[in-house]
Amino acid sequence: MTISGKAKLAGVMGWPVGHSRSPRLHNRWLDQYGIDGAYVPLAVAPERAEQAIRALPALGFRGCNVTVPLKEIAYRSVDRLDETARRIGAVNTIVVAEDGALVGGNTDGFGFLENLRAECPEWNGGEGGSQGGGHGPAVVIGAGGAARAVVVALLDAGIPEVRLVNRTRARAEEMAADLARFDFAGRVVVVEWVSRETALDGAGLLVNTTTQGMAGQPALDLDLGALPVSALVNDIVYVPLETPLLAAARARGNPVASGIGMLLHQARPGFRAWFGVEPQVTPDLTRYVLEG
């Protein structure tokens, strides 16, 4: 597809940004839907990020995605925030509104939930249903930026209790205290790292949001013995696609969901806002996006 002088513009801003899979994904969709548009990598140093974000409307951009380490700067640089971004405290999707205002959203939690629903339709945690697997508290390992999007999504979806386990307890406590401001009080329970296996008892979902298990990193040190076999296990790490945690869960019979779908699904709302088409996440996308 040729890019004309009228092409609709969007991109991903990060530092560095060369590792981002988003240009491959969005340009594939642009091609597939025959849209005259371009989605470009925007390598912007943190000290210039606010300036770059404020310049998006002047450059004719319809918006952009924001990735590490600029999500908090984007949160502070936009004109308006949607409720999800406010709760998460970070922005990953900026849309230039009709009036030229920069509107910040966060679709990471949406991507996380959509991935679970797509990979494991019988998991209906949070939907208030009483049939099927996946019920009981959710266990989230890690308390970084990714964990926060995951926890907010689970609470918003109606999960009654999230057990938050982090190596550095203070970070988990801080997140729980912060989220208590949004009517989530008492629903985030912090569990000590040394007794992390106790959090698995009766759980319906286990999510790893740490970097443990990523290629080149040691596996997450977690004995799954106490986890019900009906619990859904998800790793937001997607290189490798099958992390040691997912392999161990699969071997004992748990349903599993890999992390790549979170990346694919979180991209949908931005694409729809900038380019006017609801893109589909199809099985071939995973291979295509990871190959690049």
Active site residues: 71
142 binds ligand ATR per the rule CB under 6 A? yes
Nearer of residues 198 and 280 to ligand ATR, judged by Cβ: 198
In single-letter form, the type of residue at position 47 comes to E
In angstroms, the Cα distances linking 119 to 45, 167, 248, 283 are 36, 28, 18, 11
The reply on whether position 204 binds ligand ATR by CB under 6 A is: no
What DSSP string describes 152-163?
A: HHHHHTT-S-EE
DSSP notation for 256-270: EE-SHHHHHHHTHHH
Q: Is 234 in the site for ligand ATR (CB under 6 A)?
A: no
Choice from 24, 28, 86, 171 touching ligand ATR (CB under 6 A): 171
Residue type, 225: G
What residues contact 282, with CB distance under 8 A and at least 6 apart? none
Cα-based distances in Å from 2 to 27, 35, 61, 69, 181: 11, 10, 18, 32, 49
Asked if 88 contacts 108 with a C-beta cutoff of 8 angstroms, the reply is yes
Helix (H, G, I), strand (E, B) or coil at 90: coil
70 binds ligand ATR (CB under 6 A): no
Q: In this chain, which stretch among 8-16, 33-41, 145-153, 225-233 interacts with ligand ATR, using CB under 6 A? A: 145-153
Beta bridge partners of 61: 9
| Closest of 112, 121, 98, 172 to residue 142, by C-alpha | 172
- Asked if 147 is part of the footprint of ligand ATR (rule: CB under 6 A), the reply reads yes
Provide the mask over 172-201, with x wherever binding to ligand ATR is found by CB under 6 A and - wherever it is not.
------------------------------
Contact range with ligand ATR by CB under 6 A, out of 115-123, 136-144, 238-246, 247-255: 136-144
Q: Which residues are annotated as a binding site for NADP(+)?
A: 83, 142-146, 166-171, 236, 259
Angle formed by the axes of helices 108-119 and 145-156, nearest 10°: 60
DSSP symbol at 135: -
Q: Does 211 bind ligand ATR (CB under 6 A)?
A: yes
The amino acid present at 40, given as its one-letter code, is V
Annotated binding residues:
20-22, 67, 83, 92, 108, 142-146, 166-171, 236, 238, 259, 266
Nearest distance in Å: CB 240, ligand ATR: 17
Q: Is 210 in the site for ligand ATR (CB under 6 A)?
A: yes
Q: How many residues make contact with ligand ATR (CB under 6 A)?
A: 14
Closer to ligand ATR at the Cβ: 150 or 273?
Answer: 150
Return the number of the residue (87 or 135) whose C-beta is nearest ligand ATR. Answer: 87
Listed residue (100, 1, 21, 26) closest to 269, CA to CA: 26
Residue 111 within binding range of ligand ATR, rule CB under 6 A: no
Q: Which is nearer to ligand ATR, 113 or 222 (CB)?
A: 222
The residues binding ligand ATR (CB under 6 A) are 142-147, 166-168, 171, 209-212
